[in-house]
Amino acid sequence: MNIPENLLYSSDHEWVRLEDNKAIIGITDYAQDALGDVVFVDLPNIGGMVDSGQSITEVESTKSVSDIYAPIPGKIVEVNHDLVDSPELLNDDPYGEGWICAIEMVDNSLVSELLTAEQYGELIES
C-alpha cells in the first residue's frame, strides 16, 4: 500500500497536502482500493464552508457510494474538474492527478490532529 511520507492523513482515509494556508484533499490508496473502480465523483461546491468530519462529496464506484469527509475545517476554494470526465483518476493516481478539492484553512491548529504516514499505516494494518 502506497502511503507517501510527505502527506498527512485522516482516520476516514483522506490525505492532506499542505500548501501555505490551503489543504489539498484526496483519498488514500487504501481507500481507492477498497472502493474498486470509481465511476463518478460529485464535486463539492466552491465557496462552501466545511467542518472537520463533515461529508464534502460522494464517490460512486462499481461496489458502492461512499462519502468523502473534510479532514479539516475551512472554505472550499478549488475543485478538480478533471474528475468529472475522468473519475478513474482517483484509482490511477490518488496522490497526484486524483486530488478532489482544496480547502482554505480557518484553524491551522487542527492540522496537529491528523495522522502521520506512520500512524496511518498502523491504522490500516489494525
Angle at 106 between CA 26 and CA 8, to 5 degrees: 35
| DSSP sequence for 1-16 | ----TTSEE-TTSEEE
- How many CB atoms within 10 Å of residue 43? 16
pTM of the model: 0.92
Q: What pLDDT is recorded for position 92?
A: 94
Q: What pLDDT is recorded for position 22?
A: 94
DSSP 72: S
Question: 24-44, pLDDT tens digit by residue?
Answer: 999 999 999 999 999 999 999
CATH topology of domain 8-108: OB fold (Dihydrolipoamide Acetyltransferase, E2P) (2.40.50)
Domain boundaries, the chain: 8-108
Q: Could you tell me if 66 and 108 are in contact, meaning their C-beta atoms sit under 8 angstroms apart?
A: no
Q: Which residue spans within 7-100 are E strands per DSSP? A: 8-9, 14-19, 22-27, 38-42, 49-50, 55-61, 65-69, 74-79
Question: 49-67, pLDDT tens digit by residue?
Answer: 999 999 999 999 998 899 9
